[in-house]
Structure 1
Amino acid sequence: MSNSLLMILLVLITGIVSGSVGFGIKLFLDQRSQIASRNAANQQINMAQERSQEILLEAKESSLQFRLESEKEINEEKRKIRQDQSKVDSLKEKVEKQISELDQEKLSVSEQVKFVEQQQKDLSNSRELYAKKIEDASEISYEDAKNILLKEAQEDIEHNVAKKFRLAEEELELKVEDHAKNIIAGAVQRFASDVVAEETIQAISIPSEDMKGRLIGRDGRNIRAIEKATGVDLIVDESPESVTVSCFDPIRRQVAINALNELIKDGRIHPARIESISEKSRKDIDKTIRKAGEDATFESSVKGLHPEIINMMGRLKYRYSYGENVLQHSIEVAHLGALMASEIGADEKVCRTGGFLHDIGKAFTHEIEGPHAEIGADLVNKYEMDPKIVTVIKEHHDSDFSTIESFIVAAADALSASRPGARRDSAEAYIKRLKDIEEIALSFEGVEKCFAIEAGRELRVMVDPIRINDDEAALLAKNIVEKIESSLNYPGQIKVIVIRESRSIETAQ
């Protein structure tokens, strides 16, 4: 019993001691943890205080920097304002000074106006007085004296105008002549035509007099049948082994020529056969016309033409102007116009197409009334051609041109027509034209002699150097040109050259 009690007591004492020790350890650990937490908190507080001090210091520095920059900007703005104010004050001072000067000038001008008005009044009175004295002294009225002075002034003005006109012409010729020659020479050299001139065929050879009689027929019925079928005049005269075809329409004439050649070759000649052969010849000519138009279009490098226009151009194969084939002439103008346009930067396509079509109206001049240029322009306009091309066709014979392309095509037309061998006139008409040109020049005073050369394309006029001075020579050339233009009809251009020669001769003994 006592042992049990002792054991219980021992256990209790041991438990009490163990609890005390555990409580002490726990209390120690809690105190230690509190100390560590307190130290950490103090450390955080210290760090926060240090950071706040840094932030406060940075804020003070930023505030100071901002204030310094603001003060600098404010000072700069104040400086600019002071400068602007100084400029405004200076400008205001200048304006006020100018206003003052203007007021003074206005006053001075007003005084001068009054002075001038008084001078004019005095001058008018003096002029009237002097005019009266002059009239009394010279016995010439004021109006007569005025007319004399006006005449002298007019002569002086005409002299000055003539002089300036001559100088302007010389200057223009120096600048333009060489360039124009180079362009034209280059175009002509780059294009070489293989045909110069052709002549319309009118005479038909007959192999024998027997064939000629068969061609005439009984009582001339075959001749009447041919004329009725082809629309030509068939002339049978005393000429041996030949008949002559006459018709103003070149296509009908060619139909008749082909039909006659076929009839003579075949030998069967009677009205029914004549009608059949004539119809066949007409169809063959239509094919030839179409082929000629296509070949000419290809040779001219013209594109985009309506088939009807190509067919119209083919009709020109049988049309001649002064012995020159119009279709071949059109091909030449197309090439020359395109070459010159490429040299000066004009529209090459317009010049090529316009040059090719410029004489298309000649295919219908005997069917439609009016100038061939207007007829051609109206024809191509119906097929919605480029308006520039229509203008070129319409203006190619005008003296005033609305476009540079019109001028180029007109120049190419004249160049093709006027070159040696291109066209032929009758000898009588040729000689008469030259005489008329020379007579016009000889009708002017001071002209001693003149010569029409270069097939009438150049007129050289020799003048009396005593009666005609250099300035008057320039006016004389202009007057001769104007009279030629108003009095004569001529192809191409006529260049008038007035030559004034002065000679001083001394003899050494």
Structure 2
Amino acid sequence: MTSELIFEAIVAIVGVVAGIIAGKFIFAKDNRKQLEEAELKAKGIVKEAHLRAETIKKEKQLEAKEKFVQLKAEHDKEILERNKKIGDIENKIKQKENTINQKENSLDKQIKENNVIKDNLNKQIEVVNLKRTELEKHQEEHIRRLEKISNLSSEEAKAQLIENLKSEARTQALSLQQEIIEDAKQKANKEARKIIIQSIQRTAAEQTIENTVTVFNLETDEVKGQIIGREGRNIRAIEAATGVDLIVDDTPEAVILSSFDPLRREIARLSLQRLVSDGRIHPARIEEVVEKTRRQLEEQVMEIGERTIIELGIHGLHKELVRIVGKMRFRSSYGQNLLMHSRETANLCGIMASELGLNPKLAKRAGLLHDIGKVPDEETELSHALYGAKLAEKYGENPAVVNAIGAHHDEMEMLYVISPIVQACDAISGARPGARREIMQQYIQRIKDLESLAQAYSGVEKAYAIQAGRELRVIVEADKVTDEDSNKLSFEIAQKIQTEMTYPGQIKVTVIREKRAVNVAR
């Protein structure tokens, strides 16, 4: 169809061209010959065009046939591929159907088997329930027999068993606790000893034992009469002005000044020295000299305080605290000079703080001021630690210093790291050999308290405090106390001593259990 349309179009175009050419020759009337030739040419062109069109028509028909054949082949190929895919899908569906059928058959078999198993299980459960009922009956009968034999109900037996388990668990817990504590102590004590030993080795301490009396030496015994005065008026005036008792006895060339206040004794000694040197001893002169000596000693107190803080490298201390530090030179605690003790504590605190990577200046400051509450200017009901903390807070000291002062006897909660350092250094300074003296009655009482504490425990036969109260040896009865109980007893006594008693250093508790088998051959 397409080829015929093309052919007709070509014929029409050729006709038009031939007409145009013919028209051109019509206007040329004078040249007929040319017109004829043109007609011939036109006919030739038309014929040639007709032949050309036929050729094109045949070519197009061939092309159309080839295209048709090609399209048909492609269509057939697509149909074959589709049929093949459909066949594959059908095969897969058939396979799935077969698989499903097999699974259905298998499930049917399993269901049947499960039903059989279920029936068997139900039968077994019934048998087990019957046996359990019989077992409970036998158990109840057995418990009744046991209760009859032991004369204990089940609840009583259960309570007794629980109590035994508690006791056993408590013993094991104490043993474990003791092991953990000992392990921690070994590790902590090793490092602590290293730091403390380094601190002590780097601090030079003095033997600073003081007494409550001062001996004033005289050149001759004739001066004693002048000191006593007519009817004892001079000695009474001296005692009234200084607050110190003068003992004038048969001791040759000496007068004893007695007072618990070292500052008053020092004022009395200096005043008496000036009065004896001057030779004018009467009540008016005594009052004048004592007052002048007191003023000079107050200046000396400030100088001592300033010199102390300069030597320790402490700056910015309030003047009132400097004066209190100076006053500590004339105070003692258990025979130990308070200023020497405070300086020693300050040096130990500085060294220990440096070893621990803390601020040594702050620690040294707290160590120097930790006992300022022992030199009060007024009467107070507070302990020296709390009163010292109050003074430090009043004069603008660092909160860490205030806390260290108040907590060094565990009367306040320790809130800063330097607080336990000050406490430890205070104990080191007070517990070192020659630092303090202990009143005999207190020492004897402490020894008795140690022994009484140990003897209060059941099974203890004897208790001995040895090595000046540094070790407690407890002898127990072997028939009443086992080896395991000995370990527990040693631990409990040590814990009780630690919580209930006050003592210097540490106390070693040794429990001795000895089993003797004695027979006599006759």
Pair in the same fold by TM > 0.5: yes
- Residue 117 of structure 2 corresponds to which residue in structure 1? none
- The CA deviation at 1:295 is 2.0
Indicate conservation of the 8 Å contact 2:237/2:287, yes or no.
yes
The separation in 2 between residues aligned to 1:482 and 1:166, in whole angstroms, is 11
Conserved? CA contact 1:447–1:461, under 8 Å:
yes
Task: Give the 5 Å matches for 1:42-61.
Answer: none
Does the CA contact (< 8 Å) of 1:441 and 1:461 recur in 2?
A: yes
Distance 1:342 1:291 in 2: 29
- Paired residue total: 386
What displacement does 1:184 show? 0.7
Residue 171 of structure 1 aligns to which amino acid in structure 2?
A: D
- The 5 Å alignment of 1:114-153 reads 134-153=146-165
Q: How many angstroms apart in 2 are the aligned matches of 1:391 and 1:261?
A: 43
CA deviations 1:163-207 (Å, max 9, x no partner) are: 111210221123122211111110011111244434454232333
Counterpart for residue 363 of structure 1: 375
The question of 1:317 aligning with 2:329 is answered yes
- Tell me the equivalent position of 2:320: 308
The match for 1:220 is 232
Q: Please say if 1:457 is aligned against 2:470.
A: yes
Are 1:160 and 2:172 an aligned pair?
A: yes
Letter in 2 for 1:150: I
Give runs of aligned pairs for residues 307-456 of structure 1, distance below 5 A.
307-364=319-376, 367-398=379-410, 401-447=414-460, 450-456=463-469
Deviation at 1:219, TM superposition (A): 1.3
Amino acid at match of 2:331: R
Give, as a single letter, the amino acid of the residue that structure 1 aligns with 2:414. Answer: F
Tell me, yes or no, if the aligned pair for 1:249 and 1:366 is still in contact at 8 Å: no
In structure 2, give the amino acid aligned to 1:273: R
Which residues of structure 2 form unaligned runs of 5+?
1-124, 518-522
Q: Deviations over 1:329-366 (max 9, x none)?
A: 11111111121122122332332111111001001187
User: d(CA) in 2 for partners of 1:127 and 1:281?
Assistant: 99
The answer to whether structure 1 residue 291 and structure 2 residue 303 are counterparts is yes
Secondary structure (helix, strand or coil) at the match of 2:300 reads helix
Counterpart secondary structure, 2:510: strand
Residues 137/244 of structure 1: CA separation in 2 closer, same or farther (3 Å cut): same
Query: How many Å apart are 1:253 and its aligned residue?
Result: 2.4
- CA shift, 1:238, in A, is 4.3
- What do you get for the CA RMSD once the two structures are aligned? 3.2
User: In the alignment, residue 286 of structure 1 is paired with which amino acid?
Assistant: E
Residue deviations 1:424-477 (CA, integer Å, cap 9, x gap):
123454344334423433443444655544543343445566654555344323
User: Partner residue of 2:187?
Assistant: 175
Given that residues 204 and 242 in structure 1 are in contact (C-alpha distance below 8 angstroms), is that contact kept between their aligned partners in structure 2?
yes
Greater mean alpha carbon deviation, residues 481-490 or residues 331-340: 481-490
Q: Secondary structure at the match of 1:294?
A: helix
Distance 1:251 1:124 in 2: 90
8 Å CA contact retained: 1:465, 1:500: no
Higher Rg of the two aligned structures: 2
What is aligned with 1:244?
A: 256
Q: What is the CA–CA distance in structure 2 between the aligned matches of 1:365 and 1:279, rounded to whole Å?
A: 18
Shift in Å at residue 261 of structure 1?
A: 1.9
Equivalent of 1:256 in 268, 274, 280: 268
2:17 aligned partner: none
Does structure 1 retain, via aligned residues, the 8 Å contact 2:474–2:509? Answer: yes
Q: Secondary structure at the match of 2:190?
A: helix
2:436 aligned partner, one-letter code: R
- Secondary structure in structure 2 of the residue aligned to 1:498: strand
| TM-score of the two chains, using structure 1 as the length reference | 0.68
User: Does the 8 Å contact 1:233/1:245 carry over to 2?
Assistant: yes
- Whether the 8 Å CA contact 1:338–1:348 is kept in 2: the answer is yes
Secondary structure of 2:216's match? strand
Cα separation, partners in 2 of 1:356 and 1:477, compared to 1, 3 Å: farther
Q: Cα–Cα, structure 1 residues 135 and 501, in superposed 2: closer, same or farther, change >3 Å?
A: closer
What percent identity do the matched residue pairs reach?
A: 40
- Residues 486, 513 of structure 2: 8 Å contact kept: no
Is the contact made by 1:202 and 1:246 (CA closer than 8 Å) also made in structure 2? yes
What 5-or-longer segments of structure 1 have no aligned partner?
1-114
Q: Does structure 2 conserve the Cα–Cα contact (< 8 Å) formed by 1:396 and 1:410?
A: yes
Deviation at 1:493, TM superposition (A): 3.3
Amino acid at match of 2:186: L
Q: Relative to structure 2, which stretch is displaced further, 450-459 or 276-285?
A: 450-459
